[in-house]
């Protein structure tokens, strides 16, 4: 079962999380900078997503250029995207071939992006 593999990895990583629905987990782990990270299983994919911030109303071209630069140069796994008016980080893994190391690397990359990029991106708030 999908939830067993994913949940097993979350337990091994010692992350704080809750199972919201079958095949949907929400991480709430401030210690690892993984607050509000959603992990979803939708056969054949594991989708990991976190909302970073609202897209700014001003200096949008400059902001989106910065997102593209971060995607191209600094994102280890996953990418920035837009979901409605929200900036998100999203990553997909193939469930069948996903192992513990790959799952952990994807979450570590999101944590790293949040801690390193949020100060840069948040400077566009209110601009």
CATH of the domain at 114: 3.30.1460.10
| Residues forming beta bridges with residue 7, ordered by sequence position | none
Q: Let me know if residue 96 belongs to a domain.
A: yes
Q: Let me know if residue 40 belongs to a domain.
A: yes
Q: Let me know if residue 127 belongs to a domain.
A: no
Q: Let me know if residue 101 belongs to a domain.
A: yes
Rounded to the nearest 10 degrees, how much is the dihedral formed by the CA atoms of 55, 58, 62, 64? 20
More confident residue, 38 or 127: 38
Q: Let me know: does 91 contact 77? Beta carbons within 8 Å.
A: yes
DSSP 78: S
More confident residue, 2 or 124: 124
pTM: 0.91
Counted domains in the chain: 1
Q: Which domain holds residue 106?
A: 2-122
> pLDDT grade, residue 1 (50/70/90)?
very low
> pLDDT grade, residue 50 (50/70/90)?
very high
Q: Let me know if residue 98 belongs to a domain.
A: yes
Instruction: Name every residue whose Cβ is closer than 8 Å to that of residue 17 and which is 6 or more positions away in sequence.
Output: 10, 25, 26, 27, 28, 29, 39
Q: Let me know if residue 24 belongs to a domain.
A: yes
């Amino acid at each position: 079962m999908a939830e067993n593999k994913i949940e097993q990895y979350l337990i091994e990583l010692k992350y704080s999380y809750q199972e919201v629905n079958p095949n949907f987990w929400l991480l709430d782990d401030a210690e690892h900078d993984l607050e509000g990270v959603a992990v979803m299983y939708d056969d054949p994919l594991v989708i990991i997503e976190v909302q970073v911030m609202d897209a700014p109303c001003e200096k949008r071209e400059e902001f989106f250029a910065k997102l593209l630069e971060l995607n191209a140069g600094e994102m280890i796994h996953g990418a920035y995207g837009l979901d409605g008016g929200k900036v998100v980080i999203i990553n997909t893994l193939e469930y069948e071939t996903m192992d513990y190391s790959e799952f952990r690397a994807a979450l570590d990359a999101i944590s790293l992006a949040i801690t390193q990029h949020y100060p840069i991106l948040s400077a566009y708030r209110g601009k």
